[in-house]
Amino acid sequence: MDENNGNGNDNQANDQQSPNGDNQASAPQSASGGSEQQGSGTGPGEKKWWPEPVRWDYPGPVYCDGQNWRLEDKDAVIQMQKERREEHERKTRENWLQTHQGKLCMEFYEKFQEYKKYLETRPWAWKTEWGAPVEFTEHKLFELGLREIQRQKEEREERDRRNLQKAQLAARCEHVHVMDSAAGVRG
């Protein structure tokens, strides 16, 4: 790779750096505006543009998140990382659902939801045919599951409420820092 290249991409030896420090893409790349990834567009087989990282000595402001990116590419980089995480989680879930434990877990979850809906539409089903509350271990486990789901939901709501309250009360700093390592921005 040419050390004067400026963008840090070993696989793109035809890129050149303009006097202002911006990357100038080679003819094939300029048509797309950056790197292309097969299959990550909006439809099957479509190509999607992603920004390229820059070298550590890039002269302009950079956004750092494990690699250096041009500051103007920050939103695209964040979106790229989000889509890659979502795709990884989707593939991991698909693979897990094909395993024996994944199939059993989904079957259990579906039956749990089915039983919950059944009890919601038939309040008398919470009791035995003689009117006593159902005390069977299996039903007690179901009730315990419902209580735990409700407890977690309430905890999440309370945590979100506290975080929102903290954010509303937090002081806002409008001072521009030369080097803000916490935000990962150099400018």
**Segment 152-156 mean pLDDT:** 95
**Segment 144-172 mean pLDDT:** 91
Q: Give yes or no for a contact between 13 and 1, defined as CB atoms under 8 angstroms apart.
A: yes
CA–CA separation, 75 and 79 (whole Å): 6
Among 12-16, 46-50, 154-158, where is mean pLDDT lowest? 12-16
Q: Would you state the pLDDT for residue 169? A: 87
**Segment 29-45 mean pLDDT:** 47
Burial of 83 by CB count in 10 Å (0-12 exposed, 13-18 middle, 19+ buried)?
middle
CA–CA separation, 27 and 16 (whole Å): 11
Instruction: Please list the residues that pair with 23 across neighbouring strands.
Output: 17
Helices (H), 49-98: 74-97
The pLDDT-based confidence of 64 (bands split at 50, 70, 90) is confident
CA–CA separation, 6 and 2 (whole Å): 8
**Residue 143 token pair:** 């009730």
pLDDT at residue 18 is higher than 50? no
Percent of the chain with pLDDT over 90: 29
Name the pTM for this structure: 0.47
Phi and psi torsions of 49, nearest 5°: -80, 135
Q: Would you state the pLDDT for residue 122? A: 87
Mean pLDDT in the chain? 74
The pLDDT-based confidence of 91 (bands split at 50, 70, 90) is very high
**Segment 20-46 mean pLDDT:** 45
pLDDT at residue 94 is higher than 80? yes
